[in-house]
Structure 1
Amino acid sequence: MAILGIRDIAALANVSPATVSRVFSTPEMVSKKTLNKVQKIIDEVGYRPNRMGASLRTRKSGNIVAIIPDITNPVNAGIIRAIEQGAQSAGYSVLLGDTQGLEEREQHYAGLVSHGQADGLLLFCSRIPFKTDPNLPLMEQLPPMVNGNERIDSDEVIQVAVDNVAAAKAAINYLISLGHKRIAAITGPGNIASSNERLEGYQLALNEAGIELDSALQLEGEYLVQSGMDCARQLLLLPQRPTAIFCFSDDMAIGVMKFLQKQGFVVPDDISVMGFDDINYAKFVTPSLTTVHQPLHEIGSTCIELLLKQLQGQKVEPGRRYLPFELKVRDSTGKAPE
């Protein structure tokens, strides 16, 4: 086999091209096991690095990739703005990758970093878009990267988010304090980590209050206004309707309120509605929406700050950084009807 470059060595050693580059440039940053593995391949094929190519590879592209499932979602607006501001102040441009939740698109945009068209990656989904070897340290196989909002099940990844379990639990505890016992939950898609965390918080709060879980009150939505309307219709058909509905996004909560009002229900006198996110227009709908405030701008600014530190050669410890949430009590929630 004719060896063409570092990517070929990486493929044979089953590591990332970045790891092979570190073997040549900063071997002290590579674990002994990985170093020996890559060096063995290099010796076997007689590879010698192209110094001119190496010089080109170390040149900065000046780009950062942000992989976002849906750039039209209002939740992402504040995050994207903060990323742009932080990146531009440091001399970087941001390449936005709208993946529509598709894994192949995530891998495509992540490939811009692997191919040297971008220097780092901001990842707002719960999958790592690179092939990795489970027998090697994960961080050594990844480029400079920060994960935001969606949990990746690894302590080796730098992550920024709110504590979704605690936030959902606080929301339900507030509704319980108003006397509500039949509290419905309209979740996000089941393959989204943050939705599953919020469901956990919802169930924990009910269990701790001694309120029996009712599966008929848990519906899976799609983080869209229409999805909220559709789920509200199903909940109104139940023999015993909920007195409060907790939606895992503000868009769905607004859809729920719109449908309830069309059916002649008064929010919150008949049914209370609570959202999650605190998007810009949550306080402008009628009635104004009680919701869980996520510090979206701070999430974006923290993500870009941690990525820039890595690009500047600073060591950043992996693990989760939780930012504070806040319960925004407005007019869409009230005491449970007698």
Structure 2
Amino acid sequence: MPPPTNPIVNPRIERWNKSRTFERRQALALAIAEAFCICEGERARIVSILALARIFRAWKVVLVEQTTTSVSAIIITLNAADRIGRCCAALVQGDDRTLLKEVIVADGGSSDATRAIATSAGARIVDAPRGRGAQLAAGAAAASGDWLLFLHGDTALSEGWAAAVEGHMAARPVGAGVFRLAFDGGGRSMEIVAAAANLRSRAFAAPYGDQGLLVRRDQYDEVGGFRPMPLFEDVNFVDRYIRRFGRRRLRMLPSPAVTSAERYARAGPARRILRNAACLSLYRAGVSPQRIVGLYEGR
């Protein structure tokens, strides 16, 4: 019996391989290069500058066209029945640029209705060992898009996310992106927390996973993907990405990712912030995430 098809599929993706855009741009670049080679004298200096500029523009258009072909959204879940429907719906309803090729839910063994809700929303379920890093890696292994969009199950992208992603791809076709953090409640105190997190992301290129992550598939593989870590898998990945490609390749997208404020409400914003800072300090000091996770979860 053949596997079920994923209803969240961009039909434009199926037509991409028939496109002749790449060949046309390549021919243009070669023609300009040939013109550059046969020019002589003083005029050659002017022509060479124009030729090189046009070659670069043609190359950039090809690169953008190739990299905007498809996006695989990967959502990690564990007993997220009250959130996953909203997360999937926000993705699909906000995709006014038809970028999505598929939505994959990497589930860590939910005992509630998470899987059923995600399936009814059109997502494909991937079983994964429990743990954020392992689940993210399992979802990426199952994805087939040219870009990977990683999200937590309690995070929902806002209307206009696809336009922000498309704009990022056009402006920085070889760079990764994270969304601007926002919370779904908590009032003024959570607005301050979000503002501080966004400032940290911009100033120090240090985003967290609840901001989402958009990265090219080839760059994800080159960096080595997510490690099977229960905590700080996002920090670990971004550290390796920046070492390989540089801080300027990681940019913040203007569209917000709205995540749950429940953890902050349960512990209190100040206590939660201090706990997060303590856990990160321990990780930076070389303490294993397996030893830190109990403190992070308040056990």
Q: TM-score, structure 1 length as denominator? A: 0.22
Give the structure with higher Rg (CA): 1
Q: TM-score, structure 2 length as denominator? A: 0.24
